[in-house]
């Protein structure tokens, strides 16, 4: 998506350790007009899917998912990050390992909000190794619902998440795929 790539070029900051900072429009301050264009694009890309629910994960997926949901006219459910100690029989749960944050946490969704009738679009801001998305897929599978697709704002193309999900046959649509980025020069190359 040209608009998102332009914005990443303009306002994205390439950090050491493979991290792309996009706090100016995506992860801290949020550009809702841009999110709205992203929602329109996801709607176009997933037009033929019978999506009745959007699933994301806290925290930074929520804002995007809410704006995207306006284009699908469906509710948003967000998976909560929690400690194992709180997990009871009322929730679906999975373990997510965060490489960026160097820890493992549990994510949960109440059984009230996912069922075999649901056709789910997963939305998240970043795709790196795919740990967060895999956790969401596991939760959807436990509930008996169907994964209709995965919509990502920014995919880091050299990390394994995107390839793994596409090889598994999921319709994965990333609005910008960063092929490479250089913290020394700030140069960002996109895949098309």
The answer to whether residue 130 forms part of the interface with ligand G4P (CB under 6 A) is yes
The answer to whether residue 22 forms part of the interface with ligand G4P (CB under 6 A) is yes
Backbone angles phi, psi at 76, to 5 degrees: -110, 135
Determine if residue 145 is labeled as part of a ligand binding site. Answer: no
Determine if residue 26 is labeled as part of a ligand binding site. Answer: no
Q: Which of 100, 110, 115, 180 binds ligand G4P (CB under 6 A)?
A: 100
Interface residues for Na ion in 116-135 (CB under 5 A)?
124-125
Location of structure tokens 């990333």: 174
Stated as kind and residue range, the H or E segment containing 8 is helix 2-11
Q: What span, in angstroms and rounded, lies between the C-alpha atoms of 36 and 96?
A: 29
Determine if residue 129 is labeled as part of a ligand binding site. Answer: yes
What does the block give as tokens for 34? Answer: 């841009």
- Listed ranges 35-43, 68-76, 83-91, 121-129: which one lies at the site for ligand G4P (CB under 6 A): 121-129
Determine if residue 66 is labeled as part of a ligand binding site. Answer: no
Backbone angles phi, psi at 52, to 5 degrees: -120, 5
Q: What span, in angstroms and rounded, lies between the C-alpha atoms of 113 and 143?
A: 9
140 binds, among ligand G4P, Na ion, none (CB under 5 to 8 A by kind): none
Q: Which of 20, 108, 145, 147 binds ligand G4P (CB under 6 A)?
A: 20
Determine if residue 17 is labeled as part of a ligand binding site. Answer: no
The answer to whether residue 148 forms part of the interface with ligand G4P (CB under 6 A) is no
Q: How far is CA 89 from CA 24, 108, 109, 114, in A?
A: 40, 11, 11, 14
First to last CA, the chain: 9
Residues lying near ligand G4P in the complex (CB under 6 A) are found at: 19-22, 27, 57, 59-61, 98-101, 125-132, 156, 161
Residues lying near Na ion in the complex (CB under 5 A) are found at: 60-61, 124-125
């Amino acid at each position: 998506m040209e608009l998102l790539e332009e914005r990443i070029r303009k306002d994205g900051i390439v950090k050491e350790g493979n991290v792309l900072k996009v706090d100016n429009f995506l992860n801290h301050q949020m550009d809702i007009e841009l999110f709205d264009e992203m929602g329109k694009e996801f709607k176009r890309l997933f037009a033929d899917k019978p999506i009745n629910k959007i699933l994301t994960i806290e925290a930074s997926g929520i804002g995007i998912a809410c704006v995207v949901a306006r284009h699908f006219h469906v509710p948003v459910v967000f998976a909560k990050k929690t400690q194992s100690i709180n997990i009871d029989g009322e929730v679906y749960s999975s373990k997510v390992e965060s490489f960026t944050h160097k820890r493992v946490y549990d994510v949960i969704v109440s059984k009230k909000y996912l069922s075999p009738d649901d056709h789910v679009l997963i939305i998240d801001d970043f795709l790196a190794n795919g740990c967060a998305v895999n956790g969401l897929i596991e939760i959807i599978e436990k509930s008996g619902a169907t994964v209709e697709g995965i919509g990502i704002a920014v995919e880091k193309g050299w990390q394994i998440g995107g390839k793994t999900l596409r090889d598994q046959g999921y319709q994965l649509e990333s609005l910008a795929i960063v092929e490479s980025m250089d913290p020394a020069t700030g140069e960002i190359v996109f895949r098309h």
